[in-house]
A and B are shown apart, each in its own frame.
Chain A
Amino acid sequence: MRFGARLALAVTALAALATACGVPQDSGSPSHPAVDCGPYARYGKHPGAEVTVYAENRDREADLFEETWADFAYCTGIDVQYEGDGEFETQIQLRVDGGSAPDVAFFPQPGLLERFARAGKLKPASAGVVALAKQGWSADWNSYATVDGTLYGTPLVANVKSFVWYSPKFFRDRGLSVPRTWSELMAVTEKVAASGVKPWCAGVESAEATGWPVTDWIEDVLLRQQGTDVYDRWVAHKIPFNDPRVIKAMDTVGSILKNDRYANGGFGPARSMASISFQEAGTPVLSGDCAMHRQASFYADMWPKGTEIGPDKDVYAFLLPGADPADRPVLGGGVFTAVFADRPEVRAFQEYLASADFANARMKKGPFVSANRGVDPANAATPVDRLSIRLLQDPGTQFRFDGSDLMPASVGAGTFWKGAVDWIGGASTRQVADSVERSWPSH
C-alpha cells in the first residue's frame, strides 16, 4: 500500500511537471510587430512545416543566424529548428549513417560535402538554387560544391584568409608603411627584428585541428610564388605534395615562422607556437610585442573586448602581398549549405539562404562576409569585412579555396596538420613533405 501510494504520488508529480513544461510558448505572433512579408512571398506558405538545420556554429554566431531568418520563418510558417554542434565534422557522418540526417547542413569543408554527395546522400540543388548560384557567385565559388557536374550547395559564409593584422600605431611610431610587395614585407620584417622586437606573432594550437594556421601560410605563399595553376594541380594531387615548388614555398614560410629572430613575438622561441592557441596568438600586436599576425578575416572576433578595428584604430589588416603590387591572390575558406531532404519547405529555405537578401540581412547583424555578388559592402560590420567583400567582388582578385579543406580529409585534416606541427617543432621540410606525400590515399 505504501509503495502504491508513493508510486501514485510520483506519477502525479511527473504528470504535473510535464503539463507545466508543456504549456504552449507564446507562438510568436504578438512579438513580431510589423514584419514586411512582401520579400518572402516568393518562398510560399508552408504552415506547420519544419526544417532542421545542423551546423557547427554555436552561441553568438548561432543566435545571429536564427535572428536573421526569423522573419523568413514567420512569413513562410516554416519552423526552422537549428542545432549547432562543435563536433559537426564527425557527428554529421554518424547522423547520416544512423538514418537521422538533418534537412539542411552547413558544411565547413567542400571535401566533406563531396563525400556525402558521392555517397548519394545529398539532394542535388533545385533549379531555383542553381539559378541563384549562377547569379550570386563566380564559377570558381560554385565549383566547390559541384560534384561530377552537379551542383549540390551554395556558399553560405566566406572567409578571406590572406590578411596580415597589424597595429597602425606601431607602424606609424616606427615609420613603417604597409608593404605592397613580398620584398617590402621582408624589409619591414627585418627592420622590426633589428629594433629588438620579434616581427611576427603566430599560434597554431587549435585542439585536434592544431596546425591549420601553418598550412594556411604555406598555401598562401605557394599561391603567390607559383600562381593559381600550380596551386590547383597541387591541391588535386596532379603534382606530388613534395614537388620542389612546394618545398620552396615551405622554406619561404620557414624562413619566417621557424626563425627565432622573427617569431614568435610575445611568446618566446618559434617552436612555442605549438602551445599557443591561434585565438590568443595575435594579442601581442596590441602591446607592441610583435608587429604582424597573419590570420583570416574572422580573427576580427578574437581580439580582446573593446579592441577597435580600422585604418587608424587599434588594429587593422592588409592583404599578404605578392611579388608585385598588381598581384592580388586571395586564399579563402567558406561554409556551404546542402540539403538531405527534398521537401518543398526545405527547398524554400535553401533558396532563401542562397539569396543575396539573406547575406545582406546577416551582415547587418554583425561580422559576416559573403562572396555573393549581390551583397552591399556598406552593410559590413567592420572595415576588414568591407575590405574582404571588396576583394571577393573584385574581378582582378585571383581567389583560391583553402587547399587543406579540399584535399582528402586524412591528408587535409590529418597528416598535413600533424606534419605542419612537426615541422614547426624542428623536423626538416623534406622529411615532412615526403611523409605527407606518402600518406596520400591511393583510392
Chain B
Amino acid sequence: MSFDAFAQQPKLLYLLQGVAAFAAVVSLILLALHRGPVRSRAAALLLLAPALLLLTVGLLLPGLRTLALSFTENGGDSWAGFDNYVWMVTDPRALVALRNTLAWVVLVPSLATSVGLLYAAAVVRSRFRAFALLLVLTPMAISFVGAGVVWKFVYAYRPAEAGQIGLLNQLVVAFGGEPRQWLVDSPWNVLFLVVVMVWTQAGFAAVLLAGAIRAVPGELTEAARLDGASPRQIFWRITMPSIRPTLLVVVLAQAIGTFKAFDIVKTMTGGQFGTGVIAHEMYDQAFRYGETGRGAALAVLLFVLVTPFVAHQVRAQRRAA
C-alpha cells in the first residue's frame, strides 16, 4: 500500500481544479472591488459571499435537511409528524440519554472548572508554575478516545479471587474491599465516565484561570493585605470578582463541549449499562439502527440545547472585544 502518484492522479486533478477555482473567485472579487464603484456595503457583501455560500452549503442546508428528516421515518420514506419527538421523551432508552446528558452538563463544567481553579490558585505563585501547569495540561494532549481506553483499564474489573488488572480495584482490594464493576453498576457508572472528561478538561481551565489570576493587579491584593484581609478573603473578594469573565468563558466552553460528549462513552461502554448520552444515542439510532428520523430528532434537540450557550459565548466575546 504505497502512495502511487499516478493512481492518485484524479484526486490531484480535483485538488488542482479546486485551487484554480478558488484563485479565480478571489481574483474576480478583487478585480470587481478594484474596478467597480466603491460602495462599502456592496464590497462587504461581495467579500462575504464565498463564506456565506460555504456556510449555506456546508451548514445551513444540511441543518435544514436534518430538521426535515426528524419529521420522517424509514430513512426519509414517509412522514411521521412529531412521532420522533414523542419517542424522544417517552422511550426509556432515550430518556436515560437525556438524563445522563443533563448530569454531564451540570457536572463536567462545574467539576472541571473548580478543579482547574483550585489547581491554578495553588500553583500560580509557585516557582514551578510552568511545570505544574504542563503536568495538568498533559491529559488534554490525549484524544478522548485515548483517554477512554486508558481509563477503561483503570476501571477494569476482576473478581476478588482473580488477580486485579485495574488500578482502582487493585486499590480497593489492597484496603480489604470487594472489587466493583465500576462501568456496569448504574447510575454510578455515569459519574465514573464524567471523571474521565473532567480529567481531560481540568488542565484547560487551570491554564486559562492561572493566566487570569496572574493578571489581577498586584496593588489590589497588596492593598487588601495591608488592610488586614486574610488570604481566603483576598481570594473570594478580590481574585474571584476579577477573574469572573474568564471563569464564565471557561464554564461555557466546557458546557458546549460536554453536550457533544461522544468518544468517551463510545470507547468505554458503547452506551451500555445505562450510560448513553444524546450524541451517542443519535449516532446509534441514525447509523446503527437505520432509524434516521429518530437520530435527526436527537440532533435537532442537541442543536437547540447548545444554541443558548453558543449565543451567550458570542455575545460575551463581542462585549470583550
Residues of A near any B CB (own CB < 8 A): 18-19, 21-22, 24-25, 89-90, 93-94, 115, 119, 207-211, 266-269, 271-272, 274-276, 408-410, 413-415, 417-418, 421, 425, 435, 439, 441, 443
**Does B3 lie within 8 Å of A267, measured CB to CB?**
no
**Does B272 lie within 8 Å of A210, measured CB to CB?**
yes
Please give me the residue from chain A that is nearest to B284 by CB atom: A414
Cα distance A415–B92 in the bound complex, in angstroms: 10
A-contact bits for B243-265, CB 8 A (1 contact / 0 none)? 00000000000000000000000
Chain B residues near A276: list those with CB within 8 A: 157
Given known contacts A210-B272, A415-B93, A269 and B288 CB-to-CB distance under 8 angstroms? no
Chain A residues near B283: list those with CB within 8 A: 90
The B interface is mostly helix, strand or loop, or mixed, namely loop
Residues in B106-135 with C-beta less than 8 Å from chain A: none
Chain B residues near A269: list those with CB within 8 A: 159
Cα distance A421–B4 in the bound complex, in angstroms: 48
What would be 10 A-B contacts, judged by CB atoms less than 8 Å apart? A22-B3, A94-B287, A208-B266, A272-B181, A275-B156, A275-B184, A409-B290, A410-B290, A413-B289, A418-B272
B2 within 8 Å of A (CB atoms): yes
Chain A residues near B158: list those with CB within 8 A: 267
Q: What band does the interface of chain B fall in when counting residues whose beta carbon is under 8 Å from A?
A: 35 or more
Chain B residues near A18: list those with CB within 8 A: 3, 5
**Does A21 lie within 8 Å of B5, measured CB to CB?**
yes
A273 to chain B, nearest CB (A): 10
B197 within 8 Å of A (CB atoms): no
Contact of A443 among B73, B162, B266 (CB under 8 A): B73
Chain A residues near B91: list those with CB within 8 A: 439
Residues of B near any A CB (own CB < 8 A): 2-6, 73-75, 78, 91-93, 156-162, 181, 183-184, 266, 270-273, 283-285, 287-291
In the complex, the 9 A-B pairs of residues with the closest C-beta atoms, listed nearest first = A208-B270, A268-B159, A410-B289, A22-B5, A90-B287, A275-B157, A21-B3, A409-B289, A18-B5
Chain B residues near A266: list those with CB within 8 A: 162
Chain A residues near B75: list those with CB within 8 A: 119
Cα distance A333–B321 in the bound complex, in angstroms: 62
Of the candidates B4, B160, B287, the one having the most CB atoms from chain A within 10 angstroms of its own CB is: B287
Q: A21-B4, A24-B4 provided; 5 other pairs, C-beta below 8 A?
A: A208-B271, A208-B288, A267-B158, A268-B162, A425-B273
**Does A441 lie within 8 Å of B291, measured CB to CB?**
yes
B157 to chain A, nearest CB (A): 4
Cα distance A167–B276 in the bound complex, in angstroms: 39
Chain B residues near A275: list those with CB within 8 A: 156-157, 181, 183-184
Chain B residues near A209: list those with CB within 8 A: 270
**Does A115 lie within 8 Å of B3, measured CB to CB?**
no
Cα distance A209–B270 in the bound complex, in angstroms: 8
Chain A residues near B162: list those with CB within 8 A: 266-268
Chain A residues near B93: list those with CB within 8 A: 414-415, 418, 439
**Does B159 lie within 8 Å of A272, measured CB to CB?**
yes
**Does A421 lie within 8 Å of B272, measured CB to CB?**
yes
Contact of B4 among A22, A208, A272, A409 (CB under 8 A): A22
A370 to chain B, nearest CB (A): 28
Contact of B288 among A19, A89, A207, A271 (CB under 8 A): A89
Chain A residues near B160: list those with CB within 8 A: 268
Chain B residues near A421: list those with CB within 8 A: 272-273
Cα distance A21–B3 in the bound complex, in angstroms: 5
Chain A residues near B285: list those with CB within 8 A: 410
Given known contacts A268-B159, A272-B181, A207 and B270 CB-to-CB distance under 8 angstroms? yes
Chain B residues near A21: list those with CB within 8 A: 2-5
Chain B residues near A210: list those with CB within 8 A: 270, 272-273
B13 to chain A, nearest CB (A): 14
Please give me the residue from chain B that is nearest to A413 by CB atom: B288
Cα distance A435–B95 in the bound complex, in angstroms: 14
A12 to chain B, nearest CB (A): 15
Cα distance A18–B78 in the bound complex, in angstroms: 50
Cα distance A207–B149 in the bound complex, in angstroms: 12
Cα distance A417–B270 in the bound complex, in angstroms: 12
Cα distance A207–B272 in the bound complex, in angstroms: 8
